[in-house]
Structures are given as C-alpha cells and as structure tokens.
Amino acid sequence: MVIRVSTILRRRKHRNQEQLEKVLKKDKVHVYIAGPISFAEEKQAYREAIAEGLKKISDKFVIHDPWEREKLKFGDPSFNSLSGEEKRAMAETIVTDDLRDIYHCDLLIAYMFRLGAGTSMEIFWANRILRKPVIIIYTRSEDKGRVPLWLYAHSNMIFRTKKAMFEFIKNLLEEDEEDEESEE
C-alpha cells in the first residue's frame, strides 16, 4: 500500500486542529507564552501584545509569562558578576520553573522573531513530551518565508503574524459557540 505524503500531511493537519479545538472548549485555557529572552531582553513587548490580544478574544485565557518572573533576574546588574556556578544554579531554577509552568498549561504559544535554544526546547517539551498543542508565530524575516522543519514537526499551527493567529483562534471559538447553539 502506498500512502502519499500529501495524505499524511492532511491527516496531521486535521488532527492538529482537533487538538486545538479540544483545548479551546475548556472553561479556562492556561497559555504559556514562549519566546527568546536571552540576549533579547529589550524585545519582550510581543508578550504583552499576545496576552492582551487573547484576553480581547475571550476572558477564558489565563496567561503564564515567564518574562514576568525572569525580568527581575535579568535586570539585576549583579547578574554579570555571578560566578559560573552561580549562573548555572540560576539557569537551573529558570528552566525548572519554565518546565513546571508548561506542564500546568493547556497551550503553548511561541513567538519566534529569532531562533532561541530555550524556546526551541520549550516547544519540544510541550509538544513531543507532554503532547500539548503548540502554536508558533514565526516572524524571522531572514529566512525568506521558510520555517525550520523541526518547528513544523513540533507544532499544531504556524502563523506569520499575531493578527493571523488571533483571527484563527477567534474563528475557532465562534465556530464552537455556533455548534453549541445549533445543538440546543
């Protein structure tokens, strides 16, 4: 039996959307916002934009943003004077806290304006290990529209803009509301 790659991709796309729809039917949806932090501390405004955009769509979204916890550590001027062992201990705490947050969330949304080791590992952890849905907003212009294959393999949906993601989520929620109304 020969199965075409296009058939496999269609099946995967349908399964990926079903997983998202199932999560979005919950009364409260806990969302972890992932994205590069190291060496990009001044470029974190996207986090607030994602949180606000989701809350405009629905009050069901509960946002978990590691930057809220980590900006205190990265903003501390003494960070650069820490020893290697102290930095390692701090890194272990940050990673453990992030993984715990992802474990307790229903959905991970990653904003990737550049590739980052931590964000990539969070995506892998959420999708491959925990089997949670992952949405990626990939805005890295240097790649001329191409997205790394590992991101396709470890995400449910990939968008080019926050606006496109918001519209998609809003449409899914509206479809769910229409389905509930037609059942009554």
CATH number for the domain including 107?
3.40.50.450
Does 47 have pLDDT greater than 60? yes
Domains held by the chain: number: 1
- 111: exposed, middle or buried (C-beta count within 10 Å: 0-12, 13-18, 19+)? buried
The predicted-structure confidence for 133-174, as pLDDT tens digits, reads as follows 999 999 887 777 778 888 988 999 999 999 999 999 999 998
| Domain housing 85 | 5-183
- For the ranges 38-42, 76-80, 173-177, the lowest mean pLDDT is seen at 76-80
The predicted-structure confidence for 104-124, as pLDDT tens digits, reads as follows 999 999 999 888 889 999 999
